């Protein structure tokens, strides 16, 4: 059985947030979207970010909604094909209203590279490229 991950995020403005996530490369799935209430933003066959109005999110959540600007509730990390792709995606996110480099870019030579950004509601997103072969090279069981 193929498994999927659905990341559910409370957002102040569903349509504006959907535009931001489209700039990150997601495509809206109208079958699971309702204007102003929910937007299913598909990154791959296995990854969907559900953007939910605060009222709609609260109907599922057993606890109060966290203020993403005051505390870190989750770190979402999306992989990219290259260092250049990380930088390009961050640039598109900034153009869509996001804030880049909440911390300095992380570079580990030719093995890994990552940057952080904040979406319109304060959720932290990491974009990362990694040479998996170089990371596992020489490690036992790799």
Domain ranges of the chain: 5-136
Express each pLDDT in 126-135 by its tens digit.
999 998 777 6
Torsion sign, CA atoms 59, 74, 41, 96: positive
pLDDT, one tens digit per residue, over 82-100 is 999 999 999 999 999 999 9
Q: What is the pLDDT of residues 20-34, one digit of tens each?
A: 999 999 999 999 999
**What's the predicted TM-score (pTM) here?**
0.84
Nearest to 61 by CA among 21, 8, 23: 8
Specify the CATH number for 5-136; select among 3.10.180.10, 3.40.50.2300, 3.30.70.2190, 3.20.20.70: 3.10.180.10
Question: What pLDDT is stored for residue 142 in this prediction?
Answer: 45
C-alpha to C-alpha distance for 48 and 44, rounded to whole angstroms:
7
CA 23 to CA 95: how far, in whole Å? 8
pLDDT given at position 133: 79
């Amino acid at each position: 059985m193929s498994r999927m991950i659905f990341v559910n995020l409370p957002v102040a403005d569903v349509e504006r947030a959907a535009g931001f996530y489209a700039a990150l490369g997601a495509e809206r799935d109208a079958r699971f979207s309702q204007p102003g209430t929910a937007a299913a933003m598909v990154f791959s066959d296995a990854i969907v970010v559900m953007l939910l109005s605060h009222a709609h999110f609260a109907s599922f959540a057993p606890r109060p909604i966290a203020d993403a600007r005051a505390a870190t509730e989750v770190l979402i990390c999306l992989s990219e094909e290259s260092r250049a792709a990380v930088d390009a995606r961050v640039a598109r996110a900034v153009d869509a209203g996001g804030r880049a480099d909440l911390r300095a870019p992380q570079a580990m030579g030719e093995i890994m590279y990552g940057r952080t950004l904040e979406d319109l509601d304060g959720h932290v997103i990491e974009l990362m490229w990694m040479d998996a072969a170089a990371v596992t090279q020489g490690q036992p069981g790799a």
